[in-house]
Amino acid sequence: MHGEYKVPGGKLVVVDLEERDGRIADFRLAGDFFLEPDDALDVINAAVTGMPVTADAGAIADAVRGALPEGAQLLGFTPESVGTAVRRALAVAPGWRDFSWELVHEGAVSPRMNLALDEVLTARVGAGLRNPTLRIWEWDESAVVIGSFQSYRNEVDPENALKHGFDVVRRISGGGAMLMAAGQIITYSLYVPATLVAGMTFADSYAYLDDWVLQALRSLGIAAEYKPLNDIASPEGKIGGAAQKRLANGGVLHHATLSYDMDGQVMTEVLRIGREKLSDKGTASAAKRVDPLRSQTGLPRDQVIDRFKETFTTLYGAAPGSITPEEYAQAEALVDTKFSTDAWLHRVP
């Protein structure tokens, strides 16, 4: 069995192993990481060999950590990444390039249609009716998008939202509210089969699915990093955040919104950002929490998007794709029956 795991911001971890009588046998670790002393590699191999194949990633990481000699240095990987690679080997998890990817970037639609497309395209990937897809959003009006489990009245000031021209909509994924001003942010969605993140913890899958955009941002001169659970940031501040929804049919939605030219003052007026949240982020002002891409790159929004598309295509061999008339029709039906209804918007009052 063979498993690979690219550590977000780090190195590639590769494992090969066999299963004998319910145990891991002939375990071999490899990769482009750095490890000192040299014989620590044999120590790791011995620590994992003999473990039950049912051991989770945490138990494998604990075994590796406990066996390492004092003073051992792991650079570009961690005991947890070894555990993840082992679980992916045992699950026979595919890598990014084992799929035929499509990249979709079409004309602007309403925020509600974008949300409905997320649900439709995720379901179709899960059902095997569409290739795994990266979709770049475009939208024709501004909106506040609240998380699936957020309270409408706790998160949004309706009067100020109306005053500043923001519709209020609810998405199917969890996480926090996003102020999505038309032309001022970059939002993308990944629709992937659950097998791509097999063997990973929920938290690990976030960083794994956004590693490509960190590489794109770094190529633009931004020292981007992932801050658990779901923030994309740089030394200058937060850039954006991600959210996920996993469907019962095996489809996974992972989407992220990055600020290009955010008005922090408008954000504080439209969103009811509580003191606890600001304290947790270690900031005194909500307006300072969002650091726009425009100030860090000096590039027009469309050029930043082009770099995102180039990076994803180069890494994973994506081909240009499109949304079918059938998919648009399904999404339009969902807008009418779900995303435009008060029952959905106020399902958490």
Same-domain pairing of 188 and 256: yes
Same-domain pairing of 297 and 209: yes
CA–CA separation, 44 vs 144, rounded Å?
48
Task: Note the pTM of the prediction, 2 decimals.
Answer: 0.90
Dump pLDDT digits (tens) for 165-205: 999 999 999 999 999 999 999 999 999 999 999 999 888 89
Dump pLDDT digits (tens) for 261-285: 988 889 889 999 754 555 555 555 5
CATH code of 171's domain: 3.30.930.10
Same-domain pairing of 145 and 76: no
Same-domain pairing of 72 and 167: no
Domain termination residue (choose one: 37, 56, 90): 90
Residue 332: count of CB within 10 angstroms of its CB: 16
Q: What is the mean pLDDT of residues 3-9?
A: 92
DSSP letters for 78-119:
-HHHHHHHHHHHHTT---GGGS--EEE----B-HHHHHHHHH
- Coil vs helix vs strand at 16: strand
CATH code of 32's domain: 3.30.390.50
Same-domain pairing of 145 and 17: no
Give backbone dihedrals phi and psi of 137, rounded to 5 degrees, phi first: -75, 145
Same-domain pairing of 81 and 142: no
CA neighbours closer than 13 Å in the CB half-sphere of residue 110: 15
Domain termination residue (choose one: 90, 111, 133): 90
**Number of structural domains in the chain:** 2
Q: What is the average pLDDT value for the chain, to the nearest integer?
A: 94
Domain termination residue (choose one: 90, 123, 147): 90
Same-domain pairing of 123 and 153: yes
Q: Domain range for residue 80?
A: 2-90
Same-domain pairing of 69 and 161: no
Same-domain pairing of 195 and 171: yes
Same-domain pairing of 82 and 102: no
Same-domain pairing of 148 and 277: yes
Q: What is the mean pLDDT of residues 119-130?
A: 98
Same-domain pairing of 147 and 283: yes
